[in-house]
């Protein structure tokens, strides 16, 4: 396949990239990561992603052994090594090698891994025609158990939800929190629009503080729309004018059906299309140069 992976300061051929079987990132999902996009030779929101990575690490008391500036330089170097202009970057920091016990203090040297490659999260037709989704039985982890403020390597909660969606024939699903309010999707944030008001679940509902989520909210505000964080139920989404998903990999995806209920007129909504247009213009003109 070719390509290079950054591992602990070294650029390694993709086929030879490896970590220890005793790394607690593998054994226990003890680590953090980010998903970052590059567009036209620029890395979009690199500063924000690295800040969120360090915030996640701080919350779980994981000390990243390089400075944020050096981490950014490493990200750029991986993109250069892989000749990335339009692609996806995955920085990972694991707790490092330990023993078979849980004790994180026995892991003396955190590991840094950075991957840069291509990504196509959903079929192109879903962006044009809209996506049907369902609500799944698997509830979002409680914010007091595994905080959505931490983008951790332990994604089993999301994977269980994804499995339920795949078994039902859909690409993405909606997860509720333990109180029955909408939290997020298995891999994306979710928005609904009602009477020109853009609503998104608050972080305390179980939503990841998404970089794309915040970018789209900013675009909506500049477009003259009102934006609100609020708790809402799946029933409220059934009668929304428009619903869409956001994520670094997904970008913006219109939703045209939820649990068999048609959203709006069953086609991507006008305001969602406007947000997509403005988002594409933004990512095409902003970002940290790779060269």
pLDDT tens by residue, the chain, 291 residues: 569 999 999 999 999 999 999 999 999 999 999 999 999 999 999 999 999 999 999 999 999 999 999 999 999 999 999 999 999 999 999 999 999 999 999 999 999 999 999 988 899 999 999 999 999 999 999 988 989 999 999 999 999 999 999 999 999 999 999 999 999 999 999 999 999 999 999 999 999 999 999 999 999 999 999 999 999 999 999 999 999 999 999 999 999 999 999 999 999 999 999 999 999 999 999 999 998
Q: Tell me which of 45, 151, 162, 282 is the catalytic residue.
A: 151
Report whether CATH 3.30.470.10 matches the domain 4-117.
Answer: yes
User: Which residues of the chain are in CATH 3.30.470.10 domains?
Assistant: 4-117
Residue entry with tokens 């192109």: 124
Q: CATH number of the domain at 124-285, out of 3.90.320.10, 3.20.10.10, 3.90.1150.10, 3.10.129.10?
A: 3.20.10.10
151 is catalytic: yes
User: Which residues of the chain are in CATH 3.20.10.10 domains?
Assistant: 124-285
Interaxial angle between packed helices 211-222 and 46-59, expressed in degrees from 0 to 180 and rounded to the nearest 10: 130
Q: DSSP letter at 123?
A: -
Give burial (CB, 10 Å; 0-12/13-18/19+) of 99: exposed
Q: Per the structure block, which two tokens stand in for 35?
A: 């998903």
Side-chain half-sphere of 134: how many Cα atoms within 13 Å?
15
Q: What is the pTM of this model?
A: 0.95
């Amino acid at each position: 396949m070719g390509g290079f992976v950054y591992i602990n300061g070294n650029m390694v051929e993709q086929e030879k990239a490896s970590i220890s079987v005793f790394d607690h990132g593998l054994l226990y999902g003890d680590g953090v990561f980010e998903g970052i996009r590059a567009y036209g030779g620029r890395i979009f929101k690199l500063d924000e992603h690295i800040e969120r990575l360090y915030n996640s690490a701080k919350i779980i008391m994981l000390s990243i052994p390089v400075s944020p500036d050096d981490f950014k330089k490493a990200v750029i170097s991986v993109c250069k090594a892989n000749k990335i202009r339009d692609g996806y970057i995955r920085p990972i920091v694991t707790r490092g090698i330990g023993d078979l016990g849980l004790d994180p203090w026995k892991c003396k040297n955190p590991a840094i891994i950075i991957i840069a490659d291509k990504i196509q999260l959903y079929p192109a037709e879903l962006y044009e025609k809209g996506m049907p989704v369902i609500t799944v039985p698997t509830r979002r982890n409680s914010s007091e158990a595994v905080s959505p403020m931490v983008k951790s390597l332990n994604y089993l909660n999301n994977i269980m939800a994804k499995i339920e969606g795949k078994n039902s024939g859909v690409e993405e699903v909606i997860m509720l929190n333990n109180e029955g309010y909408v939290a997020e999707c298995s891999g994306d944030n979710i928005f609904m629009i009602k009477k020109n008001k853009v609503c998104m679940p608050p972080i305390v509902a179980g939503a990841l503080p998404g970089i794309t989520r915040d970018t789209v909210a900013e675009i909506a505000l500049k477009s003259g729309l009102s934006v609100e964080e609020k708790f809402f139920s799946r029933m409220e989404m059934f009668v929304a004018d428009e619903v869409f998903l956001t994520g670094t990999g997904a970008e913006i995806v219109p939703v045209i059906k939820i649990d068999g209920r048609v959203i709006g007129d069953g086609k991507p909504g006008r305001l969602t299309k406007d947000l997509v247009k403005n988002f594409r213009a933004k990512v095409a003109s902003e970002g940290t140069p790779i060269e």
